[in-house]
Amino acid sequence: RGKLVITGFGIQLGRHLTRRVESELDKADVVLAMMDDFSLTWLKGKYPALIDLSLLYGKDGEKDRRQTYREMELAILEPLRAGKNVCAIFYGHPGVFADVPHAAIKQAREEGYEAIMEPAISADACLYADLGLDPGMSGLQSYEATQFLVYQRPLDPSALVVLWQIGVVGDLTCTQFHTYSDRVQALVTKLLRWYEPEHEVILYEAAVLPIEGHREERLPLSELPNASFKTITTLVIPPKLEWLADHEALASLGVTEDALL
Ligand code: SAM
Protein backbone atom coordinates (compact mmCIF):
# COMPACT_ATOMS: atom_id res chain seq x y z
CA ARG A 1 0.00 0.00 0.00
CA GLY A 2 1.38 3.39 -1.01
CA LYS A 3 2.32 6.23 1.31
CA LEU A 4 2.06 9.97 0.67
CA VAL A 5 4.65 12.47 1.84
CA ILE A 6 4.19 16.15 1.07
CA THR A 7 7.29 18.23 1.57
CA GLY A 8 8.67 21.70 0.92
CA PHE A 9 11.56 22.98 -1.19
CA GLY A 10 11.97 26.14 0.85
CA ILE A 11 12.31 29.46 -0.92
CA GLN A 12 15.94 29.63 -2.03
CA LEU A 13 17.02 27.22 -4.73
CA GLY A 14 18.91 24.26 -3.27
CA ARG A 15 19.76 25.98 0.01
CA HIS A 16 16.62 25.26 2.01
CA LEU A 17 16.24 21.59 1.19
CA THR A 18 16.48 19.55 4.39
CA ARG A 19 18.15 16.13 4.76
CA ARG A 20 14.77 14.78 5.82
CA VAL A 21 13.14 15.95 2.60
CA GLU A 22 16.01 14.55 0.51
CA SER A 23 15.59 11.15 2.14
CA GLU A 24 11.82 11.18 1.49
CA LEU A 25 12.47 12.08 -2.15
CA ASP A 26 14.99 9.23 -2.45
CA LYS A 27 12.48 6.70 -1.08
CA ALA A 28 9.61 7.74 -3.38
CA ASP A 29 8.46 5.82 -6.47
CA VAL A 30 6.82 8.94 -7.87
CA VAL A 31 7.98 12.54 -7.33
CA LEU A 32 5.77 15.51 -8.23
CA ALA A 33 6.85 19.13 -7.90
CA MET A 34 5.31 22.59 -7.86
CA MET A 35 7.90 25.38 -7.99
CA ASP A 36 9.48 28.03 -10.25
CA ASP A 37 11.26 26.99 -13.46
CA PHE A 38 14.84 27.41 -12.16
CA SER A 39 14.16 25.32 -9.07
CA LEU A 40 12.36 22.71 -11.12
CA THR A 41 15.29 22.37 -13.55
CA TRP A 42 17.66 22.01 -10.58
CA LEU A 43 15.48 19.33 -8.94
CA LYS A 44 15.05 17.49 -12.24
CA GLY A 45 18.84 17.08 -12.25
CA LYS A 46 18.40 14.88 -9.17
CA TYR A 47 15.04 13.28 -10.04
CA PRO A 48 14.75 13.14 -13.85
CA ALA A 49 11.33 11.41 -13.78
CA LEU A 50 9.86 14.25 -11.73
CA ILE A 51 6.33 15.31 -12.71
CA ASP A 52 5.88 19.08 -13.09
CA LEU A 53 2.57 20.11 -11.46
CA SER A 54 2.90 23.72 -12.66
CA LEU A 55 1.98 22.54 -16.19
CA LEU A 56 -1.59 22.26 -14.90
CA TYR A 57 -1.88 26.06 -14.56
CA GLY A 58 -3.69 27.76 -17.45
CA LYS A 59 -2.59 30.95 -19.20
CA ASP A 60 -3.22 34.27 -17.43
CA GLY A 61 -6.96 34.96 -17.31
CA GLU A 62 -8.01 31.58 -18.74
CA LYS A 63 -8.31 28.84 -16.12
CA ASP A 64 -9.80 28.92 -12.64
CA ARG A 65 -7.04 28.15 -10.14
CA ARG A 66 -9.50 26.12 -8.07
CA GLN A 67 -9.83 23.74 -11.05
CA THR A 68 -6.02 23.59 -11.33
CA TYR A 69 -5.80 22.73 -7.63
CA ARG A 70 -8.28 19.85 -7.97
CA GLU A 71 -6.25 18.51 -10.93
CA MET A 72 -3.02 18.74 -8.91
CA GLU A 73 -4.69 16.88 -6.06
CA LEU A 74 -5.76 14.15 -8.47
CA ALA A 75 -2.25 13.95 -10.00
CA ILE A 76 -0.89 13.30 -6.48
CA LEU A 77 -3.58 10.80 -5.46
CA GLU A 78 -3.66 8.68 -8.64
CA PRO A 79 -0.23 7.03 -8.20
CA LEU A 80 -0.97 6.62 -4.48
CA ARG A 81 -4.14 4.71 -5.33
CA ALA A 82 -2.05 2.60 -7.72
CA GLY A 83 0.08 1.49 -4.74
CA LYS A 84 3.09 3.79 -5.22
CA ASN A 85 5.05 5.71 -2.60
CA VAL A 86 4.41 9.30 -3.60
CA CYS A 87 6.40 12.39 -2.65
CA ALA A 88 5.03 15.80 -3.68
CA ILE A 89 7.32 18.76 -3.14
CA PHE A 90 6.03 22.35 -3.13
CA TYR A 91 8.09 25.53 -2.98
CA GLY A 92 8.23 27.15 0.45
CA HIS A 93 6.43 25.33 3.27
CA PRO A 94 3.82 22.96 1.83
CA GLY A 95 1.31 23.83 4.53
CA VAL A 96 1.54 27.64 4.40
CA PHE A 97 -1.01 29.43 2.18
CA ALA A 98 -1.19 26.30 0.06
CA ASP A 99 -4.46 24.62 -0.78
CA VAL A 100 -3.40 21.41 -2.56
CA PRO A 101 -1.09 19.85 0.05
CA HIS A 102 -3.67 20.05 2.85
CA ALA A 103 -6.49 18.80 0.59
CA ALA A 104 -4.42 15.88 -0.77
CA ILE A 105 -3.34 14.76 2.70
CA LYS A 106 -6.91 14.94 4.02
CA GLN A 107 -8.26 12.96 1.07
CA ALA A 108 -5.47 10.34 1.27
CA ARG A 109 -6.14 9.82 4.99
CA GLU A 110 -9.87 9.53 4.38
CA GLU A 111 -9.09 6.76 1.90
CA GLY A 112 -7.01 5.00 4.54
CA TYR A 113 -3.50 5.83 3.29
CA GLU A 114 -0.65 6.95 5.49
CA ALA A 115 -0.05 10.60 4.63
CA ILE A 116 2.34 13.05 6.28
CA MET A 117 3.49 16.62 5.75
CA GLU A 118 7.08 17.68 6.35
CA PRO A 119 7.59 21.36 7.25
CA ALA A 120 9.98 23.61 5.34
CA ILE A 121 11.12 27.23 5.10
CA SER A 122 8.27 29.54 4.06
CA ALA A 123 8.33 33.08 2.66
CA ASP A 124 7.51 34.57 6.06
CA ALA A 125 10.40 32.66 7.66
CA CYS A 126 12.71 34.47 5.19
CA LEU A 127 10.94 37.77 5.83
CA TYR A 128 11.68 37.77 9.57
CA ALA A 129 15.36 37.20 8.81
CA ASP A 130 15.76 39.60 5.85
CA LEU A 131 13.74 42.49 7.30
CA GLY A 132 14.82 41.98 10.92
CA LEU A 133 11.21 41.82 12.10
CA ASP A 134 10.49 39.46 14.97
CA PRO A 135 6.77 38.54 15.09
CA GLY A 136 7.18 38.05 18.83
CA MET A 137 7.96 41.74 19.38
CA SER A 138 4.51 43.03 18.46
CA GLY A 139 2.46 39.98 17.60
CA LEU A 140 1.55 39.10 14.04
CA GLN A 141 -1.49 39.21 11.79
CA SER A 142 -1.21 37.32 8.55
CA TYR A 143 -3.93 37.37 5.89
CA GLU A 144 -4.44 36.47 2.26
CA ALA A 145 -4.82 39.95 0.71
CA THR A 146 -8.03 39.34 -1.26
CA GLN A 147 -9.70 37.53 1.62
CA PHE A 148 -8.81 40.43 3.90
CA LEU A 149 -10.21 42.89 1.33
CA VAL A 150 -13.55 41.27 0.61
CA TYR A 151 -14.52 40.06 4.07
CA GLN A 152 -14.98 42.03 7.28
CA ARG A 153 -11.80 40.86 8.98
CA PRO A 154 -10.47 42.58 12.07
CA LEU A 155 -7.07 44.23 11.86
CA ASP A 156 -4.82 45.12 14.76
CA PRO A 157 -2.42 47.85 13.56
CA SER A 158 -0.42 47.54 16.79
CA ALA A 159 0.82 44.15 15.48
CA LEU A 160 3.06 43.36 12.50
CA VAL A 161 0.75 42.72 9.51
CA VAL A 162 1.64 40.47 6.58
CA LEU A 163 -0.65 40.37 3.52
CA TRP A 164 0.04 37.46 1.15
CA GLN A 165 -0.73 37.37 -2.57
CA ILE A 166 -0.87 41.17 -2.94
CA GLY A 167 0.21 40.54 -6.57
CA VAL A 168 -3.22 39.10 -7.40
CA VAL A 169 -5.28 41.15 -4.94
CA GLY A 170 -8.92 41.60 -5.92
CA ASP A 171 -9.04 38.83 -8.55
CA LEU A 172 -12.26 37.08 -7.59
CA THR A 173 -12.23 34.99 -10.78
CA CYS A 174 -9.09 33.16 -9.53
CA THR A 175 -7.77 33.13 -13.10
CA GLN A 176 -5.26 36.00 -13.17
CA PHE A 177 -1.57 36.23 -12.30
CA HIS A 178 -1.47 40.02 -11.95
CA THR A 179 -3.43 42.81 -10.31
CA TYR A 180 -4.56 46.32 -11.29
CA SER A 181 -3.86 49.64 -9.59
CA ASP A 182 -7.58 50.22 -8.89
CA ARG A 183 -7.71 46.92 -7.00
CA VAL A 184 -4.62 47.86 -5.01
CA GLN A 185 -6.28 51.24 -4.38
CA ALA A 186 -9.33 49.40 -2.97
CA LEU A 187 -7.01 47.60 -0.55
CA VAL A 188 -5.29 50.88 0.38
CA THR A 189 -8.69 52.54 0.97
CA LYS A 190 -9.57 49.74 3.36
CA LEU A 191 -6.20 49.91 5.15
CA LEU A 192 -6.69 53.67 5.66
CA ARG A 193 -9.33 52.72 8.26
CA TRP A 194 -6.40 51.80 10.52
CA TYR A 195 -3.33 53.63 9.15
CA GLU A 196 -2.37 57.15 8.07
CA PRO A 197 -1.60 57.53 4.31
CA GLU A 198 2.09 58.10 5.12
CA HIS A 199 2.46 54.91 7.20
CA GLU A 200 5.49 53.06 5.79
CA VAL A 201 4.83 49.68 4.19
CA ILE A 202 7.31 47.23 2.67
CA LEU A 203 7.08 45.24 -0.56
CA TYR A 204 9.04 42.11 0.12
CA GLU A 205 10.38 39.36 -2.14
CA ALA A 206 12.75 36.79 -0.68
CA ALA A 207 15.60 35.81 -3.01
CA VAL A 208 14.82 32.65 -4.94
CA LEU A 209 18.21 32.36 -6.64
CA PRO A 210 21.30 32.29 -4.40
CA ILE A 211 22.91 34.98 -6.61
CA GLU A 212 20.18 37.59 -6.03
CA GLY A 213 19.28 39.75 -3.05
CA HIS A 214 15.82 40.18 -1.59
CA ARG A 215 13.44 43.03 -2.53
CA GLU A 216 12.69 45.43 0.30
CA GLU A 217 10.89 48.42 -1.16
CA ARG A 218 9.71 50.85 1.48
CA LEU A 219 7.00 53.32 0.53
CA PRO A 220 4.09 55.24 2.07
CA LEU A 221 0.83 53.25 2.13
CA SER A 222 -0.83 55.81 -0.20
CA GLU A 223 1.81 55.14 -2.92
CA LEU A 224 1.07 51.43 -3.11
CA PRO A 225 -1.21 51.61 -6.22
CA ASN A 226 1.76 52.96 -8.23
CA ALA A 227 4.13 50.15 -7.22
CA SER A 228 4.96 47.05 -9.23
CA PHE A 229 4.02 43.60 -8.03
CA LYS A 230 4.98 40.05 -8.85
CA THR A 231 3.09 36.90 -7.94
CA ILE A 232 5.71 36.34 -5.21
CA THR A 233 5.40 39.82 -3.65
CA THR A 234 4.30 40.00 -0.02
CA LEU A 235 3.09 43.21 1.62
CA VAL A 236 4.50 43.87 5.07
CA ILE A 237 3.02 46.56 7.33
CA PRO A 238 5.20 47.39 10.32
CA PRO A 239 3.30 47.90 13.58
CA LYS A 240 2.07 51.17 15.02
CA LEU A 241 3.73 51.03 18.41
CA GLU A 242 1.03 52.95 20.27
CA TRP A 243 0.01 50.30 22.74
CA LEU A 244 -2.36 51.29 25.53
CA ALA A 245 -2.03 49.64 28.92
CA ASP A 246 -4.88 47.37 30.02
CA HIS A 247 -5.45 48.87 33.48
CA GLU A 248 -8.01 46.26 34.50
CA ALA A 249 -5.62 43.40 33.76
CA LEU A 250 -2.74 45.21 35.47
CA ALA A 251 -4.91 45.74 38.55
CA SER A 252 -5.69 42.03 38.64
CA LEU A 253 -1.91 41.47 38.85
CA GLY A 254 -1.76 43.98 41.67
CA VAL A 255 0.41 46.47 39.70
CA THR A 256 0.02 49.74 37.79
CA GLU A 257 1.25 50.94 34.40
CA ASP A 258 4.61 51.84 35.98
CA ALA A 259 5.39 48.10 36.09
CA LEU A 260 5.55 48.05 32.28
CA LEU A 261 8.69 50.19 31.95
N1 SAM B 1 3.75 27.97 0.51
C2 SAM B 1 4.41 29.23 0.24
C3 SAM B 1 5.38 29.53 1.39
O4 SAM B 1 5.60 28.64 2.22
O5 SAM B 1 5.92 30.64 1.45
C6 SAM B 1 3.39 30.33 0.03
C7 SAM B 1 2.51 30.09 -1.15
S8 SAM B 1 1.29 31.33 -1.43
C9 SAM B 1 0.23 30.50 -2.54
C10 SAM B 1 2.04 32.50 -2.50
C11 SAM B 1 2.39 33.78 -1.77
O12 SAM B 1 3.48 33.53 -0.90
C13 SAM B 1 2.85 34.92 -2.66
O14 SAM B 1 1.78 35.62 -3.24
C15 SAM B 1 3.61 35.76 -1.67
O16 SAM B 1 2.75 36.50 -0.83
C17 SAM B 1 4.30 34.68 -0.83
N18 SAM B 1 5.61 34.35 -1.42
C19 SAM B 1 5.94 33.31 -2.18
N20 SAM B 1 7.23 33.36 -2.55
C21 SAM B 1 7.74 34.48 -2.00
C22 SAM B 1 9.00 35.11 -2.01
N23 SAM B 1 10.04 34.62 -2.70
N24 SAM B 1 9.13 36.26 -1.33
C25 SAM B 1 8.11 36.81 -0.65
N26 SAM B 1 6.90 36.26 -0.60
C27 SAM B 1 6.71 35.12 -1.27
pLDDT in tens, 108-137: 999 999 999 999 999 999 999 999 999 999
Which of the residues 91, 143, 195, 204 is marked catalytic? 91
- Burial of residue 127 (CB within 10 Å: 0-12, 13-18, 19+) is buried
Instruction: Provide the pLDDT for residue 132.
Output: 97
Confidence of residue 69 (pLDDT cuts 50, 70, 90): very high
Confidence of residue 62 (pLDDT cuts 50, 70, 90): confident
Q: Residue 242: pLDDT above 90?
A: no
Confidence of residue 102 (pLDDT cuts 50, 70, 90): very high
The protein residue with its alpha carbon nearest to ligand 1, atom 27, reads: 232
Q: Average pLDDT for residues 10-39, to the nearest whole number? A: 94
Single out the residue of 79, 85, 87 nearest to residue 117, CA to CA: 87
- Dihedral of the CA atoms 7, 11, 17, 20 (nearest 10)? -30
User: Is pLDDT larger for residue 72 or for residue 1?
Assistant: 72
Confidence of residue 195 (pLDDT cuts 50, 70, 90): very high
Confidence of residue 39 (pLDDT cuts 50, 70, 90): very high
Q: Residue 61: pLDDT above 90?
A: no
Q: Is 65 a catalytic residue?
A: yes
* Residue to substitute in 68, 148, 234, 235 for testing ligand 1 pocket (most ligand atoms within 8 angstroms of CB): 234
DSSP state of 172: T
Residue type, 204: Y
pLDDT tens per residue across span 22-35: 999 999 999 999 99
Structural contact between residues 136 and 221, judged by C-beta atoms closer than 8 angstroms: no
Query: pLDDT over 90 for what percent of the chain?
Result: 89
**Mean pLDDT rounded to a whole number for the chain:** 95
Report CA(230)–ligand 1 centroid distance (Å).
Answer: 10
Structural contact between residues 89 and 32, judged by C-beta atoms closer than 8 angstroms: yes
96 lines ligand 1 (CB under 6 A): yes
Entry pTM: 0.95
Instruction: Provide the pLDDT for residue 232.
Output: 96
47 lines ligand 1 (CB under 6 A): no
Query: pLDDT over 70 for what percent of the chain?
Result: 100
Confidence of residue 93 (pLDDT cuts 50, 70, 90): very high
Instruction: Provide the pLDDT for residue 197.
Output: 98
Work out the widest C-alpha separation in the chain, in whole angstroms. 66
Q: Is 57 a catalytic residue?
A: no
Instruction: Provide the pLDDT for residue 58.
Output: 87
92 lines ligand 1 (CB under 6 A): yes
Instruction: Provide the pLDDT for residue 261.
Output: 79
